[in-house]
């Protein structure tokens, strides 16, 4: 085996290590949080979540939220779900929904989101308290 063949992998590794460093964002660089934890119990309750880029602290606009599920898993009743629909919003990084919360207690809003420029899907659970 030639010496050049043995050195090639080492040379490639050193080039990769010494090349320009880029901070690669990941889905863990984002967080979903409630705008208000306390919400109204009953039909037409308004829920709002804020999507934040953790390293910068800035709100994320233009995300596509999908596979949303609203259930009472915080109160050990995951089978109890509520219908919800997206609503328009004007506040950057805030995503609003209208839901029919059928009973008071803890509601978990489970969300998947595609963030512009991010290859990974962001996932989060936001807990609201219906009163």
Enumerate the domain spans of the chain: 27-130
H helix runs in the chain, sequence order: 3-18
As a whole number of Å, the CA-based R_g of the chain is 22
- Tell me the percentage of the chain whose pLDDT exceeds 90: 79
The whole-angstrom separation of Cα 77 and Cα 106 is 9
**What tens digit of pLDDT does each residue of 70-125 get?**
999 999 999 999 999 999 999 999 999 999 999 999 999 999 999 999 999 999 99
Distances (CA, A) of 103 to 36, 76, 84, 100, 130: 18, 13, 14, 9, 7
Q: Tokens for 98? A: 């209208």
Q: Is the CB of residue 110 less than 8 Å from the CB of residue 71?
A: yes
In this prediction, residue 26 carries a pLDDT of 74
Taking alpha carbons only, the member of 131, 124, 129 closest to residue 33 is 124
CATH architecture of the domain formed by 27-130: Sandwich (2.60)
């Amino acid at each position: 085996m030639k010496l050049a063949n043995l050195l090639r992998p080492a040379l490639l590794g050193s080039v990769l290590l010494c090349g320009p460093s880029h901070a690669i964002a990941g889905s863990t660089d984002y967080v979903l949080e409630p705008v208000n934890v306390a919400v109204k119990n009953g039909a037409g309750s308004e829920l709002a979540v804020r999507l934040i880029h953790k390293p910068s602290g800035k709100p994320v606009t233009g995300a596509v939220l999908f596979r949303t599920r609203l259930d009472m898993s915080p109160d050990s009743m995951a089978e109890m779900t509520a219908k919800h629909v997206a609503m328009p919003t004007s506040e950057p990084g805030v995503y609003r929904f209208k839901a029919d919360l059928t009973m008071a207690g803890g509601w978990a809003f489970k969300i998947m989101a595609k963030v512009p420029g991010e290859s990974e899907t962001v996932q989060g659970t936001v807990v609201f308290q219906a009163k």
